[in-house]
């Protein structure tokens, strides 16, 4: 039988796993079928025209019911001047950077999700709080295996973009795409899962006119709750046990 002191020592060593939370980050650029679109810096300090909506802070959204869950910190009612061209089935590479030049994305525990919503009209006039989202991609662990490394550890954290494809049956039209990184290293406490949503305006051409956009959609905020399994989760201890026992 394990003594209490062994358990205490275990939890202390598990807690010593805390990765750096300095710098956090932003979606630096996306590449669609080989063509790169730079994202704005915080508050668009570089004053570039982008298809990626500007955020005001590199820190995460922690309030799961906040408007900031739609497109990131300070971005709920912000739009971007451009839209990036894409096609059904296009490959999209998401390149995230930390807030500090030359430091890669700091987090390595947690998944990435991508959602898409139809803009009514031009995305440059579309409020993300009106968006009706469907999920088009999710990535948790490599190979979708419990012993696989977290996708953030094998891509963004080692300065490698995350790649996915748009659905082959996406109808032509204007879309807001919401790509989201969730960092779970502190998620054992309610309210400390870190959400990093980022929105990209897309113009999709070449889609089948017969295709329909699904009618079962979710809202942000609204799609998640603070106690959902996978959002309230002791991911660091699971990672520790995995490293010790698998
Ligand atoms: C960005 O803008 C927000 C709100 O206008 C401000 O609070 C914040 O300090 C700015 N951040 C930077 C890094 O300039
Ligand atoms: C949304 O983000 C901005 C910028 O970080 C912050 O000032 C504001 O308080 C946030 N809103 C909510 C409802 O959390």
Q: Per residue in 71-127, pLDDT tens?
A: 999 999 899 999 999 999 999 999 999 988 788 999 999 999 999 999 999 999 999
Mutate to test the pocket of ligand 1, among 41, 46, 53, 56 (most ligand atoms within 8 A of CB): 56
Residues 231, 224: contact at Cβ < 8 Å?
Answer: yes
59 touches ligand 1 (CB under 6 Å): no
How far is ligand 2, taken at its centre, from the CA of residue 69, in Å?
10
62 touches ligand 1 (CB under 6 Å): no
Check whether 128 has a pLDDT greater than 70: yes
How far is ligand 1, taken at its centre, from the CA of residue 56, in Å?
5
Q: Which ligand is nearest to the CA of 75?
A: 2
Check whether 231 has a pLDDT greater than 80: yes
Residues 6+ apart with CB under 8 A from 122: 83, 174
Band (pLDDT 50/70/90 cuts) for residue 41 is very high
Three-state secondary structure string covering the chain: CCCHHHHHHHHHHHHCCCCCCCCCCEEEEEEECCEEEECCCHHHCCCCCCCECCCCCCCCECCCCCCHHHHCCCCCCCCCCCCEEECCCCEEEEEEECCCCCCECCCCCCCEEEEEEECCCCHHHCCHHHCCEEEEEEECEHHHCCCCCEHHHHCHHHCCCEEEECCCCCCCEEEEEEEEEEECCCCCCCCCCEEEEEEEEEEECCCCCCCCCCCCCECCCCCCCCCCCCCCCCHHHHHHHHHHHC
Task: Give the global pTM.
Answer: 0.89
Domain ranges in the chain are: 20-241
Q: What is the pLDDT of residue 1?
A: 36
Q: Per residue in 8-37, pLDDT tens?
A: 334 444 444 444 455 699 999 999 999 999
57 touches ligand 2 (CB under 6 Å): yes
How far is ligand 1, taken at its centre, from the CA of residue 55, in Å?
9
59 touches ligand 2 (CB under 6 Å): no
Q: What is the pLDDT of residue 5?
A: 38
Nearest CA owner, ligand 2 atom 5: 73
Q: Mean pLDDT for the chain?
A: 89
CATH architecture observed for domain 20-241: Distorted Sandwich (2.70)
Q: What is the pLDDT of residue 180?
A: 98
43 touches ligand 1 (CB under 6 Å): yes
How far is ligand 2, taken at its centre, from the CA of residue 59, in Å?
10
Task: Give the percent of the chain with pLDDT over 90.
Answer: 76
Band (pLDDT 50/70/90 cuts) for residue 147 is confident
Q: Which ligand is nearest to the CA of 77?
A: 2
């Amino acid at each position: 039988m394990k003594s209490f002191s062994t358990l205490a020592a275990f939890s202390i060593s598990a807690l010593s796993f805390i990765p750096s939370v300095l710098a956090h980050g932003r979606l630096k650029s996306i590449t669609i079928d080989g063509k790169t679109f730079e994202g704005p810096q915080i508050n668009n300090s570089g004053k570039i025209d982008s298809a990626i909506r500007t955020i005001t802070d590199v820190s995460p959204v922690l309030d799961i019911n906040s408007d900031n869950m739609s497109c990131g910190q300070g971005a709920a009612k912000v739009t971007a001047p451009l839209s990036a061209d894409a096609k059904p089935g296009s490959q999209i590479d998401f390149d995230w950077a930390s807030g500090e030049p030359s430091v890669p994305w700091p987090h390595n525990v947690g998944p990435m999700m991508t959602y898409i919503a139809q803009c009514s009209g031009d995305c440059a006039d579309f409020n993300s709080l009106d968006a009706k989202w469907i999920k088009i991609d999710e990535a948790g662990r490599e190979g979708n295996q419990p012993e696989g490394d977290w996708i953030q550890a094998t891509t963004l954290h080692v300065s490698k973009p995350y790649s996915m494809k748009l659905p082959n049956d996406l109808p032509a039209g204007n879309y807001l795409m919401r790509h989201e990184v969730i960092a779970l290293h502190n998620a054992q406490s309610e309210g400390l899962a870190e959400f990093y949503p980022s929105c990209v305006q897309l113009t999709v051409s070449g889609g089948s006119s017969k295709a329909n956009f699904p009618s079962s959609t979710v809202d942000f905020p609204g799609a998640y709750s603070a106690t959902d399994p996978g959002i309230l989760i002791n991911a660091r201890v699971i990672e520790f046990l995995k490293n010790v026992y698998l």
